[in-house]
């Protein structure tokens, strides 16, 4: 069996307790502004793909977002929304435990400005390397490119990596490359099951 050299984590729904980053952001903005959540979601949904693939930035489209919401808001409120992201302490502890024997990284479909801010305030690069973001690569987890970028940075083969995600469809592309995959049910939050799956795939984990 090929030894496992790296464990790659999805971000939202795995390293956070919210299923998606869009949920975190729109919920915060709705609560802070009093604008109905369904309206906030609708306005942000129009730009989600372009933001996630790095084709635009929140700064560029902020005036359009404000018009859609019907309020002239400071973009600082968006930074507050990013900062409200609830990290999973339990999952971070597992990542720290793996770090003693493996590289640990992040592969995420995400907005560059959001991840840049969260990297800074939570010192994510001190634990995770690489952190591969769709908005920087220009490709998401539906295809192989973002995973090939992670493997390139790690200088390992697909068979030497495990990828964890909370969406089954995001496991198709890495599995096709030969990366071992684990589905994490963000609703069950069964960390014991995750640790068992990691061991079964060849990762060295303690009782984190």
pLDDT of residue 98: 96
Domain shared by 47 and 105, yes or no? no
Same domain as 33, residue 95: no
Query: Can you tell me the mean pLDDT for 48-72?
Result: 97
User: Do 27 and 10 share a domain, yes or no?
Assistant: no
Q: In the listed set 83, 103, 127, which residue is the last one of a domain according to the structure?
A: 83
Same domain (yes/no): 35, 128? no
Same domain, 12 and 68: no
What was the pLDDT predicted at 184?
98
Position 2 pLDDT exceeds 80: no
Judged by DSSP in three states, 106 sits in strand
Based on the fold, state whether residues 30 and 61 are members of the same structural domain: yes
**Cβ(196)–Cβ(181) below 8 Å:** no
Length of the chain: 208
- Tens digits of per-residue pLDDT, 98-148? 999 999 999 999 999 999 999 999 999 999 999 999 999 999 999 999 999
**pLDDT 10s digits, 68-102:** 999 999 999 999 999 999 999 999 999 999 999 99
Q: What is the mean pLDDT of the chain?
A: 96
pLDDT computed for residue 206 by the predictor: 67
For the chain, what percentages of helix, strand and coil (3-state, to nearest 5) are there? 50, 10, 35
Predicted confidence (pLDDT) per residue in 169-195, tens digit: 999 999 999 999 999 999 999 999 999
Does one domain contain both 170 and 191? yes
Q: Are 191 and 174 contained in the same domain?
A: yes
pLDDT of residue 42: 98
Whether the model pTM is above 0.85: yes
In this prediction, residue 66 carries a pLDDT of 97
* Residue finishing a domain among 83, 117, 137: 83
Report the pLDDT value the prediction gives residue 19, as an integer from 0 to 100. Answer: 96
Question: Do 105 and 14 fall into the same domain?
Answer: yes
The distance from CA 163 to its chain's CA centroid, rounded to whole angstroms, is 12
Domain assignment of residue 205, yes or no: no
| Residue 54 neighbours by CB distance under 10 Å | 17
Domain range enclosing 101 = 6-18+87-200
> Does position 208 have pLDDT exceeding 70, yes or no?
no
The pLDDT of residue 205 is 86
Q: What CATH number is attached to the domain comprising 152?
A: 3.40.50.1000
């Amino acid at each position: 069996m090929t030894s496992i050299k790296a464990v790659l984590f999805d971000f939202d729904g795995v390293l956070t307790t919210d299923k998606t980053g869009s949920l975190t952001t729109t919920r915060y903005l709705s609560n802070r502004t009093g604008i109905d959540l369904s309206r906030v979601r609708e306005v942000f949904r129009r730009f989600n793909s372009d933001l996630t693939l790095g084709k635009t930035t929140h700064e560029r489209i902020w005036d359009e977002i404000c018009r859609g919401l019907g309020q002239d808001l400071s973009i600082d409120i968006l930074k507050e929304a990013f900062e409200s992201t609830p990290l999973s302490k339990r999952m971070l502890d597992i990542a720290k435990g793996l770090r003693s024997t493996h590289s640990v990284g992040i592969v995420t479909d995400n907005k560059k400005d959001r991840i840049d801010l969260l990297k800074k305030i939570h010192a994510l690069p001190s634990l995770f390397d690489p952190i591969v973001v769709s908005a920087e690569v220009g490709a998401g987890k539906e295809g192989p490119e973002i995973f090939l970028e992670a493997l390139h940075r790690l200088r390992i083969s697909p068979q030497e990596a495990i990828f964890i995600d909370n969406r089954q469809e995001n496991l198709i592309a890495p599995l096709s490359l030969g990366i071992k995959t684990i589905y994490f049910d963000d609703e069950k939050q069964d960390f014991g099951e995750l640790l068992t799956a990691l061991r079964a795939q060849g990762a060295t984990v303690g009782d984190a």
